[in-house]
Structure 1
């Protein structure tokens, strides 16, 4: 495997770092509050960084999300790219790709995701009913990618649904999505039917398994890298993307802790001179590197068309378990300052804790990984 970024990926990452560094300052984040930064989102889209994900792949997106995580920038970058750009380009019909991708790429369309834990069903042909309690970035979204009880993926326009504001401990501009026979379009287009009116089976040797072991059946009609079904691919890709975001959040927390402990003195010596501080910071650095390298490997495998289900769960586990340790260490190394809710490191703490449980906490993804290993679907 080779995680060396391509020239295009490196250029995109460098540009993203400059934009996030210039516009995602502590003062601007404080002013934005729980909303998103419209000016920053516009700058990212005008620079072509959202549309570039089609060419740089999931690994390229992970690199960009690392830069976002370092500054905890308030924009729906991860959600719109993984649930919108990558999902539609991989699993949408030709008509859907032609119609939706330009708007997602230039930022006029923003896609949020409700693919995990949703209680949604197709109540009538092309209409969904149910509710999703918390959808991150729903307040900014024009569309939501929804998975129904059968693991089929649907695009719902927020203008057709009821979207209520939800307050979270971390400012993710979230909301509650309520569907009541709401019109929706199936990702990939309507399913073809046989002469007998029955749904055809998936294009594989058998039913695709969901991340929790459930049979996806006809929900896996479209395939992508590694032969994964649409639902499995989108959920795994989302976990990898948000693991990349967590790597950046943790890197930012460690960098702030290092800066604080090297400048703050106690009894005439910098805090960083103390062995206990050095060990705590070193552990946090190694945990951050583990999150990063597992996210890189999973993203690379997806881009290369290799099996990546187990690697996505591994990245998600590290992002949850190690991410928890790192953001706590970052806050702890700031001493009493870390308890200040207005201090920049507190935002890293909140983001890290929010990402820790998003799309499954550590124990849940570890159980899923164990089930895949037991069934022989991944190497132990």
Structure 2
């Protein structure tokens, strides 16, 4: 395994960093699209996408970058028909359209023989800004739905994700790939959002390091206290665990290797260790960390939201255990 970014991947990350440092909000989204970052993420692979998302998370950039790639650009490029790619990718790549997904599949949506979907998904991130939503059904197929054809109710969360409740009532949809598409989309999405979480946690720790280096107590910086150093070191190790497992999963997808268990591992680390890391970042700020107006509080809220969105750590660990047990049974039968 070699996670060293290629020249093309480094250039894409550096371009994204330059724009992320200068702009925010709608202007940031337009600038990233105009500079070719969205299209470049599809062309340079999932590892490059993770690198860009890590930088976006580090700055808690409130844009639908992860969702549009994970549930729009990536799946359509990989599994869409030539007609779907020609029709949908230009708008997603130039930022004029946003995509999101009703993942993971919880058995709440079904499809009839005419390709019409019925069911409800309680929370879909960025649904209120999306033009398309990728919806998995009980048979593990994926369907593209135009958001304007579905029912959308606002759902307010602590993260700026313009989330919504999706209601489908014999809603028209078009299929995207076959049954295998679901596992591939979910695994890649988990990897992408784990990359985002790595950045969120790294940004939180960077703020904590800056704060403890400048803040003094009893005539010495807080950063010189052993307890502070140990807490920061633990958070650093947690973030590195998220990062390396995410890089491995992304690399395996790019290389065409089996990666479903690796994506689950990355998601587990992002959920379990990510929660610890953003709590540490807030704790190291002392009472200031409880101020909802302080920037570190934004990292804390994002970290908790991503933990909830990826799935609780016990849930992900149980799914990983089931997957590994099934692999072992399959291997025994094959032998």
Give yes or no for TM over 0.5: yes
In structure 2, runs of 5+ residues without a counterpart are none
Q: Deviations over 1:195-238 (max 9, x none)?
A: xxxxxxxxxxxxxxxxxxxxxxxx42xxxxxxxx2000000001
What corresponds to 2:102 in structure 1? 114
Provide the secondary structure at the position in 1 that maps to 2:109: strand
Which residue of the other structure, out of 170, 173, 178, is the alignment partner of 1:181?
170
8 A contact 1:3–1:296 mirrored in 2: yes
What corresponds to 2:271 in structure 1? 320
In structure 1, runs of 5+ residues without a counterpart are 25-36, 189-218, 221-228
Which residue of the other structure, out of 350, 361, 364, is the alignment partner of 2:301?
350
* 1:45 counterpart = 2:37: no
Which residue of the other structure, out of 317, 320, 331, is the alignment partner of 1:369?
320
Moved more, 179-188 or 246-255: 179-188
Structure 1 residues 139 and 118, CA, compared in 2 at 3 Å: closer, same or farther? farther
What corresponds to 1:168 in structure 2? 157
Which residue of the other structure, out of 112, 116, 128, is the alignment partner of 1:139?
128
* 1:14 counterpart = 2:2: no
Provide the secondary structure at the position in 1 that maps to 2:53: helix
Which residue of the other structure, out of 63, 74, 85, is the alignment partner of 1:86?
74
Runs of 4+ in 1 over 6 A off after TM superposition: none
**Using the alignment, how far apart are the partners of 2:26 and 2:154 within structure 1?**
18
Which residue of the other structure, out of 248, 253, 265, is the alignment partner of 2:216?
265
Provide the secondary structure at the position in 2 that maps to 1:103: helix
Pairing 1:47-62 to 2, within 5 Å after superposition:
47-62=35-50
**Using the alignment, how far apart are the partners of 1:333 and 1:46 within structure 2?**
38
Q: Deviations over 1:298-328 (max 9, x none)?
A: 0000000000011001100100000010000
Q: Deviations over 1:105-154 (max 9, x none)?
A: 11112111002125111145121111111000011100000001111100
* 1:151 counterpart = 2:140: yes
Larger relative helix fraction: 2
**Using the alignment, how far apart are the partners of 1:157 and 1:376 within structure 2?**
36
RMSD: 1.3
Q: Deviations over 1:2-51 (max 9, x none)?
A: 00101111001011111111114xxxxxxxxxxxx211110110010001
Moved more, 1-10 or 114-123: 114-123
Provide the secondary structure at the position in 2 that maps to 1:156: strand
**What's the offset of the Cα at 1:274?**
0.3
**Using the alignment, how far apart are the partners of 2:41 and 2:13 within structure 1?**
11
**Using the alignment, how far apart are the partners of 2:3 and 2:314 within structure 1?**
28
Which residue of the other structure, out of 49, 65, 75, is the alignment partner of 2:53?
65
Superposition TM-score, scaled by structure 1 size: 0.85
8 A contact 2:271–2:310 mirrored in 1: no
Q: Deviations over 1:222-275 (max 9, x none)?
A: xxxxxxx20000000010000000000000000000000000000100000100
8 A contact 2:238–2:273 mirrored in 1: yes
Provide the secondary structure at the position in 1 that maps to 2:128: helix
8 A contact 1:124–1:181 mirrored in 2: no
**Using the alignment, how far apart are the partners of 1:128 and 1:357 within structure 2?**
26
**Using the alignment, how far apart are the partners of 2:71 and 2:57 within structure 1?**
18
Provide the secondary structure at the position in 1 that maps to 2:302: helix
**What's the offset of the Cα at 1:364?**
1.0
**What's the offset of the Cα at 1:187?**
0.8
8 A contact 1:110–1:142 mirrored in 2: yes
What corresponds to 2:290 in structure 1? 339
**Using the alignment, how far apart are the partners of 1:42 and 1:169 within structure 2?**
24
